[in-house]
Amino acid sequence: METAEKIRNLPKEEVAKNIEEATGLLEKEQSLIEVETEKAVFVGDTHGDLSSTLTAFDKYENIGYKLIFLGDYVDRGEYQIENINFLISKKLEKKSELILLRGNHETEEMNKAYGFFREVARKYGPNFYELYIKLFSNLPYAVVVNKKFLALHGGLARNLNSLEDIRELKKGEMNPRGVAMEILWNDPIDFIEGFETSDRGPGIYYFGKDVLDKFLEKNKLSILIRSHEPRANGVSIEMDGKLYVVFSCRYYGIKPGALVLNGDKITPSRL
């Protein structure tokens, strides 16, 4: 891949400068971003699948779409450094036209367990990771589009009642806990009521449809858009059409998906 080659060969000093500049931009973004737009594309986990990321930009960036990525850019996949470095350079170029949310893999714990920390140490030296984790710690947690659609990486959280609660989340933690951690990690599940402890580990929960219904209604929202779990067709519409799941990394043997907003309507698509 020509682009991958180009990104791979960026000098270390230039990569460092880009990360620091992008961190400066992200520090100014709220934990909850609020946007109004006729056209937007939601991209789910990419996990080093640079090809999905490039396809999203190729297809949508020059025809007026806001690009909204739901986190999990690194760990697992073949081009994790290229993927995050590409997104960072695009953030510098597109500013608020590109929204990068935080995923559970934009944390120190996950990067140390699933490969990104080592990849970075091998390529740029042992201290370079500090730049990435500072950037990750400043990614926003969620975005509300047109006051109707809430997008985040994982799911709703036990002590999350209003959008105000997301707005008040502090950024800057390498490994968030509490509501922030649950937003990055929780999964929806049919056939339960309220919250149940998750198989994923301590501090993580499943939430039922009643939780979703209540949250959407209370906050006058219509749909929750989230990523975090692969779906065979990249996209699936669940819980009576109130939950849209999008996953965009092909390393799970799935077809990478995207969700395309035009006006009032969100349509499943492929990358």
Contact footprint for Mn ion (CB under 5 A): 72, 103-104, 228
Q: By C-beta, is 103 or 115 nearer to Mn ion?
A: 103
User: Which residue's CB atom is positioned nearest to Mn ion?
Assistant: 228
Shortest distance (Å) from residue 166 CB to Mn ion: 18
C-beta of 15 vs 70, nearer to Mn ion:
70
Identify the three-state secondary structure at position 226. strand
d(CA 261, CA 40): 5
What is the C-alpha separation between 84 and 91, in angstroms, rounded? Answer: 10
Is 105 known to be catalytic? Answer: yes
Q: In angstroms, what is the minimal distance from the CB of 104 to Mn ion? A: 5
Question: Max CA-CA distance within the chain?
Answer: 52
The residue annotated as part of the active site, out of 47, 105, 153, 228, is 105
Which CB sits closer to Mn ion, 15 or 87? 87
Closest CB 103 distance from Mn ion, rounded Å: 5
Q: Which of 124, 192, 173, 194 is nearest to 184 (CA)?
A: 173
Residue 254 tokens, joined: 């799935």
Q: Which sign does the torsion angle of CA 207, 33, 87, 176 carry?
A: negative
Catalytic positions, written as ranges: 105
